[in-house]
Structure 1
Amino acid sequence: MGQAVRERGRSVGGLLREWRERRRLSQLALAHEAEISPRHLSFVETGRARPSREMVLRLAEHLNVPLRDRNHLLLAAGYAPAYPQAALDSPELRRVRAAVRLVLRAHEPWPAVAVDRLWRLVDANAAVPVLTAGAAPHLLRPPVNALRLTLHPEGLAPRVVNLGQWRTHVLGRLRRQAALTADADLAALHDELSGYPGGTPGPAPAEPAPGDVVVPLRLRHGGGELHLLSTVSTFGTPLDVTVAELSIETFLPADEATAEALRGAVG
């Protein structure tokens, strides 16, 4: 069941209050940031005042509400959605697809993937098979979920040397993403992945070993080991829901041996 269906019939005031509490803001703090009176904000949240379209968007902006959920707020208030949601393969997003493809190719021979809000693979560059080698075919059939592929016992997990540590990192990131977006689908994905075996639990990213600055991905490859660092990129100031939910994750070599191995594998 989709998020919009779950929220059908909810009042805009109640939804705004939930977002404010999720962001751990008092009515006074949000009113100050949005430059409105605390009394008016209270009236909006309790349903005693109907917010204008501009007010809904202003509050949503200050609450850092995702574009998908800003549309839900507008619908709850009786207004039309403000942000389009075109399919990634639609003509409207042709330039976006081209930009994603350009970025992915530019990162070669370093592996890079483009994923949607649920971590479903929408594109990948020629270096990604280095990471996915040996994964079960059913995990590679579309739609491929990048996080499921990583932690599944028939996916990358048997090749991840620091599986406990990497699993802690992935689940922590997914848990924070689900909490920030209030996305039930992400929460369900977190619950699924949490049930996978994960090796000996590693140190949480908040408690790194001396000298560590990021959590590495250490992946068995041939007779050696790849040491990779992950970076995530998103589109700045997106105005379309689909574009706002796209991200590109790149795995960079953490040492020269890994760089050489990737160059050799991709050619």
Structure 2
Amino acid sequence: MTTERPSVGTELRRWRRLRRLSQLELALLAETTQRHLSFIESGRSQPGRGILIRLAESLRLSLRERNALLAAAGYAPVFSESGLDEAALRPVRTALEQILHGHLPYPALVIAPYGRVVAANDAVEVFLEGAAPELLTPPVNMIRLMLHPDGMAPRVRNLPEWGRHVTENLRALAHRSPDSRLDAFVDELTGYLPDTPVGADHLGFAVPMRLASADGELRLITTLTSFATATDVTLAELRLEAFLPADQATADLLRRRAERRAATRG
């Protein structure tokens, strides 16, 4: 049994409503007319490739979503999708590895959709302490590792606040780009979190993660970097997550761990 693909007009209308734009508002953003957009959505007009690209950009679709919109109209994908090990992305992979190394002695990693780790520096070993072997089997899912009761969760001192920060960010992503697989993942992660409400001092935005380790408690803040000008689907979907010390004690602790790793290797 085959499933009929939604028409390009149906898809445009779905995305426009999801972005809460009127036909007139989207038409102005895409430098076309409301009448033309109405004809496309109703199937009375077959859109050209150029107008579809402008509409997709105005709707702030991801590169994967833009390719899907073009496919719905019968056009070939505009944006390539390369493997990280392929020649096209090899210079990017090399640059990412240099960034990860340069972030030492602090943890940093590159994450693909749904939390899959594709690269990391040596400092991420602090996240692996006491984790169940099945959570460390490649490809490691960093988001699951953070919140799973057999992963980092028992060591995250402020798990209700930190866990909510993680799941709400994922929910926001699922709202921008509906994805049943992501919805299921968020449901899984939410099930790992305690019913305990966040503390009275919760400020409603990201707080440092308080992580117990063999050397003492770490307080870490995170930065997320995306590749905004990427024209390859794979690269556009990657996120560089870098952890920074929130206090001097954490910075000193991570530096000592790095020195100990270097001495062990030497």
TM-score (normalizing by structure 1) = 0.92
What is the rounded CA distance, in whole Å, between the counterparts of 1:265 and 1:201 in structure 2? 33
Query: Could you report, residue by residue, the CA deviation over 1:56-84 in whole angstroms, capped at 9, with x for unpaired residues?
Result: 11000010100001111111101100000
Paired position in structure 1 for 2:262: none
AA in 1 matched with 2:109: V
Paired position in structure 2 for 1:208: 203
Q: Which deviates further from its counterpart, 220-229 or 64-73?
A: 220-229
Match of 1:230 among 222, 233, 240: 222
| 1:242 and 2:237 are equivalent in the alignment | no
Q: Which deviates further from its counterpart, 107-116 or 181-190?
A: 181-190
State the Cα distance separating 1:201 from its structure 2 match: 2.6
Paired position in structure 1 for 2:163: 167
CA contact (8 A) 1:168 1:201 kept: no
What is the rounded CA distance, in whole Å, between the counterparts of 2:98 and 2:200 in structure 1? 34
State the Cα distance separating 1:183 from its structure 2 match: 2.1
Secondary structure at the residue paired with 1:127?
helix
Matches within 5 A, 1:1-267: 9-198=5-194, 200-202=196-198, 208=203, 214-222=206-214, 224-267=216-259
What is the rounded CA distance, in whole Å, between the counterparts of 2:119 and 2:215 in structure 1? 29
What is the rounded CA distance, in whole Å, between the counterparts of 1:167 and 1:245 in structure 2? 22
Long gaps (5+) in structure 2? 260-266
What percentage of residue pairs aligned between the two structures are identical?
A: 50
What is the rounded CA distance, in whole Å, between the counterparts of 2:112 and 2:234 in structure 1? 8
What is the rounded CA distance, in whole Å, between the counterparts of 2:88 and 2:129 in structure 1? 34
What is the rounded CA distance, in whole Å, between the counterparts of 2:54 and 2:93 in structure 1? 30
State the Cα distance separating 1:223 from its structure 2 match: 5.4
Residues 203 and 64 of structure 1: CA distance in aligned 2, closer, same or farther (over 3 Å)? farther
AA in 1 matched with 2:247: D
Secondary structure at the residue paired with 1:128?
helix
> Number of residues paired by the alignment?
258
Q: Which deviates further from its counterpart, 179-188 or 135-144?
A: 179-188
TM-score (normalizing by structure 2) = 0.92
Secondary structure at the residue paired with 2:110?
strand
CA contact (8 A) 1:68 1:241 kept: yes
Secondary structure at the residue paired with 2:185?
helix
State the Cα distance separating 1:194 from its structure 2 match: 1.3
State the Cα distance separating 1:155 from its structure 2 match: 0.4
AA in 2 matched with 1:208: L
Dislocated runs of 4+, deviation >4 Å: none
CA contact (8 A) 1:168 1:203 kept: no
Query: Could you report, residue by residue, the CA deviation over 1:116-146 in whole angstroms, capped at 9, with x for unpaired residues?
Result: 1221000000100012211111001112111
CA contact (8 A) 1:44 1:51 kept: yes
What is the rounded CA distance, in whole Å, between the counterparts of 1:72 and 1:259 in structure 2? 45
Q: Which deviates further from its counterpart, 91-100 or 156-165?
A: 91-100
AA in 1 matched with 2:209: L
AA in 2 matched with 1:246: L
State the Cα distance separating 1:236 from its structure 2 match: 3.1
Q: Once superposed, what is the RMSD of the aligned Cα atoms? A: 1.8
AA in 2 matched with 1:40: H
State the Cα distance separating 1:168 from its structure 2 match: 0.6
What is the rounded CA distance, in whole Å, between the counterparts of 1:10 and 1:169 in structure 2? 34
